[in-house]
Structures are given as C-alpha cells and as structure tokens.
Structure 1
C-alpha cells in the first residue's frame, strides 16, 4: 500500500465521518485532489488508488499533465479541474483541456472560455469564484456581482454554470470558518432559485484545515492537496 493510497483512504474516511456527523448522506461530498507541482508518477499513484478528480492551478503544468494522461493512461478516465487564476492569454489552453473551471470571476474570461471551447467537447462546467472575505489579495467577485455574471454565463453556449467556489480567510476557529462557508452556501441557494434552468448543485469549498466546517455548511467538493501528496515544491511552477 502506497503512502498516497493511505492518505486518500484517510481523507475519504474523514469526509465520510464529517458527512455522518452533519446528517448528510454518503457520497454527497467529492474529493478533488490538488495535484499542482506534483509529478505524474504521484498522480498515477492516486489514480490507481481510485482517485478520479484532480485540480491544477498553473495552466502550462496542468495542460502538460492532461496531455500525458490522455496519451499514456486514457483508461483511467481522469477528470481535470482548473482551480487557479486565469489570464486572458492562457484561457484557450484552459478551454481546450479541462472539464471544470472553478475560478470564473469576470465576464471577459467567461466569454473567452465559451468561444474557445472546442465544439467536439462537452460544455465546460464552471463555478463563479466569490471573495467572501473581501481580502484584496484574493481573487473572486463580491456577492453583489454574482447574479450579473451568472446571467451572462447562462447565455453562453459552451459553458454550464454549476455553482460557486471560494477561498475564505485563513482562520483557525471553527465558528468563523462555518460562518464564512454558510454565507457562500446561502448565496448558492439564491443562485439556484434565480436560475432554475441551470444545474446549480456545486459548492467548491474546504481544504485540509477547514474541511469539517465546509462540509457542515454544505460543501459538495473539498480541495485537498498536501494531505494527499505531501509538501509542495514550487520551483518549477508554470
């Protein structure tokens, strides 16, 4: 048994425990393995342990990994999520290679992703990134801008709006974590009510340090990296 496999089993057990504690059904929370800066060998270990969904932050690194697994291990059927900031000059690579994008936060990027999505692929599944903490250092729009951007996305032929994503302030006390996540969950419900024709069912929120609070608030996808793969090496990011 590999250490990565052990880590995935441990995280999966923690997710199941959190679901049970909150009275949620099993398999209501998906594990997104954040594989940025990690080699393809580590991702292959995770995939062989049953992990299917992987998140990448850097466009060039992510597209290289997508190409590698498409060529060498298509039988694994991996699902690739882009979870980093998107620059306009790199949006085409995101549109052409990923199944999901968690970080749509402006109209220009939404339009480019739709225009650049290949017609032979399914629509890109997108989440609007919300800056719930108001920190200038974080990407994302404020809650007053969500519905205008959602209205635009709903008209774009090659995008499907699935929900919201956030990276809240890094706080250690559970009550503050829960309050921030609950705020996003309430916004997601309002969004689903406003756009009933869209399949708005996803809340991407929660990492290693605040996963329990995120799940209690209603997260459907937690983003876990270091707890699966170990410490990251940023020397070769692209």
Structure 2
C-alpha cells in the first residue's frame, strides 16, 4: 500500500518536473493538500512529513479538524485554507478558525469576516475566487468584478488580500485549460499592478497541474494524489 509520505514525495516530484519544463523554480509553487473527507490521522501523517498547508471545502468539517488537531497535537501549527463556498451564516466560525479564505466572492462576506475576526488573531489571508470558466455550477466573481472586490478587501484591517483563486472548466481540453489559466494570469498581473503585495495565484489540480504551472500558478491544490481516493 502506498503511504502518504510516498504520495507526498511523488506530488513534489511531479511539481518539480512540471516546473522544470516551464522554466520555473519549483520553490515558487506551494502545494496545498486538500484534506476534505479525509480522517485526522491522514492529516497528522502529512504533517509528520513536513507538509504545512491544508485546504478544506466544508466549513464545519474543517473547524472540527482544526479544533481536534489543536487539542490532540498541539506541536503542529498547520495553515488552514477554506477553499469551498462560504455562506453568510458560517462567516463567524471561519473568522475564528481559518488562516486563509480562498473562496471569497462577495463584499458582504468580506465585511462579515473583517468584523468577526478575533482581535488577537492575524488578519485572514484572502484570495478572490474567479469564475474563469463561466460555468453556472462554479462559484466565484466574474473577471470584470475582481478589481472592485479587491479594492473593498484592501481597505479592511482584518483581511489581507493575497491574490486570486480559480477552478478550471470541468472535463475541458488542454487548449481550453490553457486559455483559462492564461486569462487568470493576465487578471492577476493587472490586479498586482494596483496591489503590489499580491503573491498568490491559486490554480491547478491533479488534472491540469502541468498547464497551470506553465501559465504561472503559485499554488496547486492536490487531494487524491496525496491522501488517496475518498471512500465516501
């Protein structure tokens, strides 16, 4: 049976190979381990291998893991990213527990997170989710709405704007994937010209990792490649 340590090693090798093809330094690409629907033991195994950043899609599942890990394994200090949709009634608990929100798509949500972030915690690191594919099934703002929402976030003391996140089209051809990621990189560069501190372009998963790295992603999100297939 392949272990999480072996899968992590393979994932980093995959990233390094794709970076080499793209003429990039693999150290400029962060691996976010998507741990949704995976048990805490798997996360601990990844932490023991030195993995630091974890992404959760579902608020309550993520909060349960964050609290349990902190209580049972205080020696670990992972970075927790919310990468799934966030509704208004869940902003308070997210503001209290998550380090990053990559799925911001409304000014209302930004305002609530800003107001509800506990004073003793660092600002929440924010990526604006862009619906680059235009698919109705996907969350995110339209590309032409990004600059306005970014300006709103930038004015909030308890939020720090870090960049953009996107999910490519479902079952798309490589040409479509490339076109979408090129559009995201262009949008990111435009936004960075107004907000020079931006450093995160989160795009690319198992099926489109190579193209995302070629087109400039700084963070790829891998789940099954690290933790194996979900059983539920």
Shift of 1:172: 4.7
Q: 2:230 aligns with which of 209, 228, 232?
A: 232
Count, aligned residues: 232
**What secondary structure is seen at the aligned counterpart in 2 of 1:31?**
strand
Q: Which residue of 2 aligns with 1:203?
A: 201
Shift of 1:89: 0.4
The one-character-per-residue Cα deviations of 1:80-108 (angstroms, maximum 9, x if unpaired) are: 10001001001111111011110000010
Contact preservation (8 Å) 1:125, 1:160: yes
TM-score, normalised on structure 1?
A: 0.94
Contact preservation (8 Å) 2:19, 2:214: yes
Q: Which residue of 2 aligns with 1:99?
A: 99
Distance between the aligned counterparts of 1:97 and 1:2, measured in 2? Answer: 32
**What secondary structure is seen at the aligned counterpart in 2 of 1:75?**
coil
Q: How does 1:1-238 map to 2 (within 5 A)?
A: 3-196=3-196, 199-234=197-232
For structure 1, the 5+ residue unaligned runs are none
Shift of 1:28: 0.6
Over the aligned positions, Cα root-mean-square deviation in angstroms equals 1.2
Contact preservation (8 Å) 1:168, 1:180: yes
**What secondary structure is seen at the aligned counterpart in 2 of 1:122?**
coil
The one-character-per-residue Cα deviations of 1:111-139 (angstroms, maximum 9, x if unpaired) are: 00111111101100000000011111110
Distance between the aligned counterparts of 2:73 and 2:16, measured in 1? Answer: 29
TM-score, normalised on structure 2?
A: 0.97
Shift of 1:228: 1.0
Distance between the aligned counterparts of 1:143 and 1:11, measured in 2? Answer: 30
Q: Which moved more, 1:167-176 or 1:81-90?
A: 167-176
